[in-house]
Amino acid sequence: MTCSYATQDHRSIDNKDESVRLSLNYSNDDLSVSSKTPDLSSTELLISNSVILNDQNPVSNPRIAKSCFLSTFIFLINFISSILVINLSKWIYVKHHFPNLTLTTMNFFITFLLLLVCLQLKLFAHVRLPIPSMIPVSICFGGFIAFSNLSLQYNTVGTYQLIKLQVTPTVMLVSWLFFKAYYPLPIVFSFIPVLVGTLISTYYDLQFNMFGLFCALMSVLFTAMYQILVEHSQNVHNCNALQLLLYQAPLSGLLLLCFVPFFEPLNDLEKFMNYDTILLILLCGFIAFFVNLTIFWVIGNLSPVAYNMIGHTKTLLIILVGSILFHEALNIKQIFGLGFTMFGVFIYTYFKYIRKPTK
């Protein structure tokens, strides 16, 4: 499934993925890159100290090399798994015809089990959260993942990815209407080409259908609501995304399980349960979980600009791989729409992180 669970880090469109994102939410604004340049004497002092330390501690170089290797390895896992999880989910829907909501529900419980393993390994600490206050965010979480996967099933990968980019302007609109948030005009205007490009690409999609568009729009709405509620919940309960996800995943799975029998009769499930399909479902769940787990390191160790540029690269690669893997040919008008959309996204990144406008 597209289990890139949104995190607070992704609530600004820096979300790029997303996703299936099971998408975990952190604020990219928490990351800062120092632009202060040290004077010459400070630089000389730093070089001198570095030489002295290297002479005194010859083990430091192997440690640095080991750290660089580990960082590169974690980054590659995140980059590759983010691309794989969406196309693998699409493969399960299209090639194996596995019921969508059932797969979504199963992945919620796979995520919960893997989180319990991480808890036992002390990768994060357990905190007690009130169950009633978790229900609204779990409903939005379930709706966001379920409609995202339905969008992926009934739309091309390109249309699915481009419509996901509308989450940030939706969050901005809601924040402006209800929370009086301020956004500089250059950032607001940057979403005009994002919206127009998406409309062009979607309209000329040869596999366009109204139900797929409805699911995509609902996924945008639920994702925006989810991101706002996650930020609120983390602030109120003073918890991180993994601690919150430990409650969200099983609650969302149980809530969705109540609706599955009405849309996907469980008595037909046995005809889909063969060895290959079960293996792909487990693999999809594991890959999606590693997307969520490694995103902590990626956001913590990259500057906002680098993180966004890599996110945009992943978006383009997901569309390219999807069009090749599922024979979803892009016509010239769709390519123009895609290019126009990405132009708007890069403009947004420029004004948001490189040339930060003042109020």
pLDDT tens for 277-329 read 889 999 998 988 887 777 656 655 655 555 555 666 677 777 777 778 777 77
- Ordered by start, the domain boundaries in the chain are 75-182+208-301
**For residues 264 and 266, what is the distance between their CA atoms, to the nearest angstrom?**
6
Q: How many helices (H) and strands (E) does the chain have?
A: 13, 2
- Average pLDDT of span 45-72: 51
**For residues 4 and 15, what is the distance between their CA atoms, to the nearest angstrom?**
10
**For residues 88 and 83, what is the distance between their CA atoms, to the nearest angstrom?**
9
pLDDT tens for 164-210 read 888 888 888 888 888 777 888 888 888 888 888 888 887 787 677 88
Nearest to 201 by CA among 165, 168, 162: 162
Environment class of 265 (CB within 10 Å of its CB; exposed 0-12, middle 13-18, buried 19+): exposed
| Range with the poorest average pLDDT among 118-122, 243-247, 353-357 | 353-357
Higher pLDDT, residue 60 or 279: 279
**For residues 170 and 307, what is the distance between their CA atoms, to the nearest angstrom?**
21
Is the pLDDT reported for residue 359 higher than 80?
A: no
pLDDT at site 65: 61
